[in-house]
Chains A and B, each alone.
Chain A
Amino acid sequence: MNLKELYQEIILEHGKNPRNLRKTEGFNKDAKGNNPLCGDNVHVYLKLNGQKIVEDASFEGSGCAISMASASIMTDLIKGKNEHEAKEIVEDFLGMIKENPELKSEYLSKDEKTKLMCLSGVKQYPMRVKCATLSWHTMVSAFDEKKEEVKTEN
């Protein structure tokens, strides 16, 4: 266990000043997620253009530093990706946060991988994995236009 690994500067910074914490104007996909056990909630908004590429992504909600930083980094790097690419990145991220030592997706640049790997410390804290994954599950739900709220598994 290593708190420094969990609470890296970049996570604290994103947690304190989350990017894209707003509601995208003219969004065409959205979904809500919540974590009933701890009361965290997130609402993800996506705006896809004619070519089905994410033109803008944003979120509203409240939660711990891990969940805010995760949503912040996610909405940042998903911009410019299409649905297929975005979903592959989600799979890659979920795999990494649970067990994989590294990210594999070719749709992520080296910089993006480095940024996402900041969240890898969560792996050692099983109770906190759901904090990191809530916004990602919610984004998939937005792509799939699911009506029901996402509830985190653990």
Chain B
Amino acid sequence: MNIDQIKKEFPIFDEKIQNNDLVYLDSANSSQKPKIVVDRINEFYTKQFSNVGRSVHYLAVAATNLYENTRSSVQKYINAKDKNEIVFTKGATEALNLVANTLGQSYLQEGDEVLITELEHHSNYVPWHFLRKSKNIKINFAEINEEGEITLEEIEKKITPKTKLISITHLSNVTGAILPVKEITQLAHSKGIIVVVDGCQGAPHLKLDMQDLECDFYAISCHKMYGPTGLGVLYGKKKWLEELPPYQGGGGMINEVKKDKISYGELPNKYEAGTMATAQVIAFDQSIKFLESIGIENVMKHEADLVEYGQELLQKNNSVKLIGNPKNKGGVLSFTIEGVHPHDIATILDEDGVAIRAGHHCCQILHDKLNIPASARASVGIYNTKEDLDQLNQSINNCKKIFNL
């Protein structure tokens, strides 16, 4: 695998960003886009555009086929059993809201407990909080250990007879911990508990196999997977998607509409009300092709090498403190520098063209637990190199110099 060659497929790296070469270390936030994805959007709008699933004219039929083709590609990529288990949403946030909302409507009852973890992104906490408000369900938190991991034992400890659902991240966007989702699912299912997985960080960086993981729901963010913004995927087991009520009402999701009664459409239309992000869905097929052309095993190997290299580099840099040290870690390096606030770090690094994120990364619960208001985070993607991490380290040193450390 030739990373320089792969990097060339991303037009943004030809740009000078404030006169610097771009060192993009913010892929956990959103990944850059390969040319084939950008071109596909352009091509669809220029030569093939039509709405899908409505009209019978040539363009409409062709667009519908392209749209459904991506659904099949996603099904294959994540090894879902059925094509109708793939629902397009406006993002992983909407996917998680869809799950919480529909389970809240027809499954979860007052007093039921939902178990999440201290690692969760706000998008896997706030939707459950809505149910805490409206249905009086209880939310419990599995706690992180010293290394910033959530263990199977901790999950087991926090399960009570009232636990109806466990909703967990696949890969923490702050500590990088990869959760034992398969084992947690086996445990949960043995107790009749549903499992929802926030796969935002998992999907771009790990091998996905829904039939092996066996979770009930899995939310994916396409823009973190070298795909377009405004698009997410919800994988849901067919029996759940069939059983649960629709999430939004509108065109496309209905079967028959009368003044006194309405019946809903079949899967997957039932959950895709209104005109969907058509161009994005069609272009997302190219993102999957891109990932397949490299091979997810190669992606994982490359990113594991990078994170190991970066970890060693930053561990050796005194004043830098890494957040979390999980055994099983994805491509995220969160850190603090004693005496420099993360926002100041991010501004100073930016001056060298090093793009990182500073803040609480939508994980306030975790930062409260760690007793820090914010952290700096460098996260890698397939286009990153060891030289990028060397530059990160060098810019951190510049930051220390400015702050007289």
Contacts and interface: CB of A to CB of B under 8 A. Distances in A.
Interface of A: 1, 3, 6-7, 12, 16, 37-41, 62-66, 68, 125, 127-128, 131
Interface in B337-372: 339-344, 347-348, 351, 358-360, 364, 367
B367 A64 contact: no
Interface string B177-205: 00000000000000000000000000000
B253 interface: no
Contacts of B342: 64
8 contacts: A1-B18, A12-B404, A16-B339, A38-B343, A39-B367, A40-B343, A64-B343, A131-B343
Contacts of B367: 39
Contacts of A65: 340-341, 344, 403
A47 B403 CA distance: 33
B262 interface: no
B364 A3 contact: no
A68 B18 CA distance: 27
B359 A39 contact: yes
Contacts of A64: 341-344
Interface in B218-264: none
Nearest to B343: A64
Contact of B344 (A1, A37, A39, A66): A66
Contacts of B351: 1, 3
B1 interface: no
A37 B359 contact: yes
B348 A3 contact: yes
B402 interface: yes
B359 A38 contact: yes
Contacts of A6: 347
Complex A-B, nearest 7 residue pairs according to Cβ-Cβ distance, in ascending order? A64-B341, A64-B343, A38-B359, A39-B360, A39-B373, A64-B344, A65-B344
B366 to A, nearest CB: 12
Nearest to B374: A39
Contacts of B402: 3, 7, 12
Given A1-B18, A38-B358, A131-B343, 20 more contacts: A6-B347, A7-B348, A16-B339, A38-B374, A39-B359, A39-B364, A39-B374, A40-B373, A40-B374, A62-B373, A63-B341, A63-B373, A64-B341, A64-B342, A65-B340, A65-B403, A66-B343, A125-B347, A127-B347, A128-B347
Contacts of B343: 38, 40, 63-64, 66, 128, 131
Nearest to B351: A3
Contacts of B358: 38
Contacts of A39: 359-360, 364, 367, 373-374
Contacts of B403: 7, 12, 65
Contacts of B364: 39
A128 B364 CA distance: 21
A6 B351 CA distance: 12
A13 to B, nearest CB: 10
Considering residues B344, B359, B367, which has the most beta carbons from chain A within 10 angstroms of its beta carbon?
A: B344
A39 B348 CA distance: 19
Considering residues B348, B351, B373, B404, which has the most beta carbons from chain A within 10 angstroms of its beta carbon?
A: B373
B22 to A, nearest CB: 16
Nearest to A6: B347
Nearest to A38: B359
A63 to B, nearest CB: 7
Interface string B361-394: 0001001000001100000000000000000000
Contacts of A66: 343-344
A57 B378 CA distance: 38
A16 B403 CA distance: 9
A1 B350 CA distance: 11
A12 to B, nearest CB: 6
Interface string B32-54: 00000000000000000000000
A62 B371 CA distance: 12
A127 B344 CA distance: 11
Considering residues A1, A41, A64, A125, which has the most beta carbons from chain B within 10 angstroms of its beta carbon?
A: A64
A64 to B, nearest CB: 4
Contacts of A40: 343, 373-374
A124 B19 CA distance: 16
Nearest to B375: A39
Considering residues A38, A63, A127, which has the most beta carbons from chain B within 10 angstroms of its beta carbon?
A: A38
A50 to B, nearest CB: 38
